Amino acid sequence: MNLVNDNKINICYLCGKELVGKIDKDHVPPKQFYANDLRRLHNPNLFTLPTHKPCNQTYQGDEDYFVNSIAPLAMDSYSGRYKWKDIIRFSGRPKSKKLVKMIHDEFQPNLSKLLLPPGKIIKKFDGDRVTRIIWKITRGLFFKEKNLFLPEDKPRDFKFFSVGEKPPEYLNYVLASESKGDYPGVFDYKYVELEELNFFNVWLFLLWDRIIIMTVFHNPLCECNVCKLKY
């Protein structure tokens, strides 16, 4: 049995309510993942979902933080180099000073007297803000793939892999699955849903061809004891 809703539903994927009032076209993943110059060169047809405008606006600050804090880790890739140019321009805006200062302070040569190899630094980040955006992307793509609303408070977990880190062998099954991203050099994703494990979902994202992030959760129609307890 595949837990998919065959009926098209006209709801906001962020709040789950009917689409009425002021409506936005929300890019999934965020449009700013795609550097301005890169969009001009390749003219990608980016995927969007309709949302309530107020719902979408609540994520703007966290999306700005996510891109400007995480994308510098991928600046040696093709799409990452273009995105770095955007970040430089963003950092020169007067209204960006506070955010830029906060992100700058997240890059540290050492932490708690930890000795690092030459040329290496530590990058901290605000986990709540980063995972909020990863979960938003997951919810949007899950809606696209399954036509199901994935609640914001659905139990889930995340894992971030360092740049250059090889994912463990237990993810080979996911890695061998079909790539779903339309423009994998900027953003790619793969996922599997394991019916035998209470419709357990494992999603992998590849950002700017360098950064791998994993999200795990159950299908929202799952009726296992954990999901029943939550809902």
Which pLDDT tens digit goes with each residue over 2-29?
555 555 569 999 999 999 989 999 999 9
**What's the pLDDT score for residue 182?**
95
- 186/37 Cα distance (integer angstroms): 13
**What's the pLDDT score for residue 144?**
97
Domain ranges of the chain: 23-230
- 154/138 Cα distance (integer angstroms): 12
The reported pTM is 0.89
Average pLDDT over residues 189-206: 94
Which pLDDT tens digit goes with each residue over 49-103?
999 999 999 999 999 999 999 999 999 999 999 999 999 999 888 888 888 888 8
Helix (H, G, I), strand (E, B) or coil at 18: strand
Burial class (CB in 10 A: 0-12, 13-18, 19+), 219: buried
Mean pLDDT of the chain: 89
**Radius of gyration of the CA atoms of the chain, in A:** 19
What the block records as the tokens of 41 is 């060169």
**What's the pLDDT score for residue 53?**
96
**What's the pLDDT score for residue 85?**
95
DSSP assignments along 77-139, one per residue: SHHHHHHHHHHHHHHTSGGGHHHHHHHHHHEES-STT----TT--EE---HHHHHHHHHHHHH
pLDDT category of residue 162 using cuts at 50, 70 and 90: confident
pLDDT at residue 129 tops 60: yes
pLDDT category of residue 188 using cuts at 50, 70 and 90: very high
Sign of the CA dihedral with 68 first, then 74, 76, and 79 last? negative
**What's the pLDDT score for residue 124?**
79
pLDDT at residue 109 tops 80: no
**What's the pLDDT score for residue 187?**
98
